[in-house]
Amino acid sequence: MTGPALRFQQVVKRYGAASVLHGVDLELRAGECFGLVGVNGAGKTSLIKCLLDFCALDGGSIEIFGQPHHRPAARQPLAFVPERFTPPYYLTGADFMRYLLSLQGLPYQPPAVEAMLAALDLAPDALRRTVRSYSKGMTQKLGLAACLLTRKPLYVLDEPMSGLDPKARALLKDQLRSLRQAGSTVFLTSHALADVDELCDRMAILHDGRIRFTGTPAACRAQYGAPTLEQAFLTCIA
């Protein structure tokens, strides 16, 4: 695929009288790992909801691999894990995986499923247990495993590290690096700036509904004369 993976142009989003996104411009190159950061309430999840057509835009446009985002076919090349992932509590892990894969027209292949669970450090007995008995981190791993098994060109991950223990975070980062090496695009949000620094080719800082910075983590540190990305971020939003 040529051209950008995602293009946000002058995106405006309001909830009633409250304006959340004030003309967001952002472009993600195909094959990059891109991190969107911002304080709580900055509008990161709202931007993702707009991208997925979960809510209507109040202005601007979004393209996914060159297609208008509101066309269902435009969203076919992407997989998404939300910030608060809540699978149906009465399903077993295996039921959930089978269901998610069937929605994508993919077969349930036990060796591939078990290998993906192992890659995220989720014990295989999770497949037999119902989701209601999972911890928060186990639930997150199940959602990530199902998402990563879809083998899509674009992954949209809203705070994917949330709830994961240090081992699982390290394993997920390995998975994301492998996806990128395989040519997929990754668009993630994160509050862990060290992860963004380590993992992302480029990043953007969203603040007060506007993009304040777009570029590499190194360029961000250089632009704000800060030794760490955390300090650069604080200067950027000051």
Q: Which residues bind ligand ATP (CB under 6 A)?
A: 15, 18, 20, 38, 40-46, 83
Record the tokens describing residue 45, joined without a space.
């999840």
H or E segment and range at residue 226: none
Residue appearing with tokens 């094959």? 31
Record the tokens describing residue 141, joined without a space.
């791993």
Q: Shortest approach of ligand ATP to residue 38 CB, angstroms?
A: 5
Query: Considering only CA atoms, which of 98, 87, 93 is closest in space to residue 130?
Result: 93
Cα 61 off chain centre by: 20
Q: Shortest approach of ligand ATP to residue 23 CB, angstroms?
A: 15
User: Quick check: helix, strand or coil at residue 17?
Assistant: coil
Q: Shortest approach of ligand ATP to residue 157 CB, angstroms?
A: 13
What is the C-alpha to C-alpha distance for residues 77 and 66, in angstroms, rounded to an integer?
12
Toward ligand ATP, which CB reaches closer, 121 or 230? 230
The alpha carbon torsion through 155, 156, 162, 164 (nearest 10 deg) reads -10
Toward ligand ATP, which CB reaches closer, 153 or 160? 160
Toward ligand ATP, which CB reaches closer, 24 or 138? 24
The region that residue 10 occupies, defined by phi over 0 for left and psi between -120 and 50 for alpha, beta otherwise, is left
Toward ligand ATP, which CB reaches closer, 43 or 160? 43
Q: Shortest approach of ligand ATP to residue 18 CB, angstroms?
A: 6
A 10 A CB-CB count for 29 gives 13
Toward ligand ATP, which CB reaches closer, 15 or 89? 15
Q: Shortest approach of ligand ATP to residue 159 CB, angstroms?
A: 7
